Amino acid sequence: MRCFNFGEKWRKIQDSIKKNTAIYAIAFLFILIVLIGNLDLSIDKTIYSLFGVVLGSLITSFTTISSSTQNREHQLRLAAIDKRLEVHQKAYSIWTQMRKKYHNSDQMDSFKNDFQQFWDNNCLYLAPKARKAIWDGYHDALECSFLIEERSTIKGDVSRTREINDRLFENSKKIKLVGEAITNGVELPAINEELELPGENVEASQK
């Protein structure tokens, strides 16, 4: 059972109040002007007009600030989308290298540094599913490399060889799916949704 986090809820309410203070102030002044207009109060017309001027100024200022904020957020989203496309393209390249190199332990050893450097510099820009897929795929590839090396040293052990071959086959299928997760991370429909806001079958070689 999830516990009700009152502190978190209260912080969200406070953030909402801070973000919408201008709206609340404008609404309050508008209601006040309407009430004054409907009540038979002896208020100087100049003061009444002043309320209207203040309200109009607040509305204009709020519209300008809101538009500026939306434009700034829109530019940040565009920059993030460009970076995301770039990083997913790099991830696709890393994936193709992974598929080619895990059959050779020496090549896989040199690939470790390339992958780690890519991961450290780019992982946060990857879509969540792509991030998980390439991380899991990398460790599946490492396991494949170890298993292939082990298989080369146990000739004659039919049972263990069969186990290794089965494991290699399963891992190769999972590694293949990494490419799909990467391409799905930059599908145009997903990008368009954000803008609306202001291959090869790899199987283990048999010996």
Copy the structure tokens of residue 149: 């090396």
The DSSP line for 34-89 is HHHHHS-----HHHHHHHHHHHHHHHHHHHHHHHHHHHHHHHHHHHHHHHHHHHHH
Q: What is the pLDDT of residues 32-68, one digit of tens each?
A: 666 655 655 455 556 656 666 666 676 676 666 666 6
Tokens 């990494």: give the residue.
178
Can you tell me the distance from the alpha carbon of 184 to that of 113, in angstroms, rounded to the nearest whole number? Answer: 26
Can you tell me the distance from the alpha carbon of 162 to that of 207, in angstroms, rounded to the nearest whole number? Answer: 11
Side-chain-side CA neighbours of 69 within 13 Å: the count stands at 7
Domains of the chain: 76-195 (1.20.120)
pTM: 0.57
Indicate the residue type of 1: M
Can you tell me the distance from the alpha carbon of 56 to that of 30, in angstroms, rounded to the nearest whole number? Answer: 10
pLDDT (tens digit, 0 to 9) for every residue of the chain, 207 residues total? Answer: 444 455 556 566 656 655 566 566 666 666 666 665 565 545 555 665 666 666 667 667 666 666 665 666 656 565 568 888 899 999 999 999 999 999 988 899 999 999 999 999 999 999 999 999 999 999 999 999 999 999 989 888 899 999 999 999 999 999 999 999 999 988 744 444 444 433 344 344 444
